[in-house]
Amino acid sequence: MLRNDPTNGFALVHLGFIVKTTDHDYAGAVPLLQEGIASNASGVIDGRFFFHLGDALYRTGQHNEVVESIIITIHESGVVMSSVVCLSVCPVCVVTFECLDQ
């Protein structure tokens, strides 16, 4: 898929997920997940991709990026996440964002 369409956001987030969870290549997963989410393609604005991007950023020492990019993007995009998921996206800080439990 990415050979034919290297900017396919849906394919990028899924590849990023695979690189992170199967290969445990957190640094390699970050740009794939970031680009995929930034594409705003159908199916990419999903809490699971934000979680895996936040976790990969955290594991690569990019703690400020988690707060400055991921959590703000989650809330601006209107993704509804439980407070447990919101806190696990940013395990190094307590951020006073209103997460909606459903």
pLDDT in tens, 34-59: 999 989 899 998 878 888 888 898 89
Q: Is 45 within the bounds of a domain?
A: yes
pTM reported for the whole predicted model: 0.73
CATH of the domain at 25: 1.25.40
CA-nearest of 73, 69, 67 to 96 is 67
Structural domain containing residue 17: 9-89
pLDDT of residue 74: 67
User: 32 near 13, Cβ under 8 Å?
Assistant: yes
Q: Is 94 within the bounds of a domain?
A: no
Total tally of structural domains belonging to the chain: 1
Q: Is 101 within the bounds of a domain?
A: no
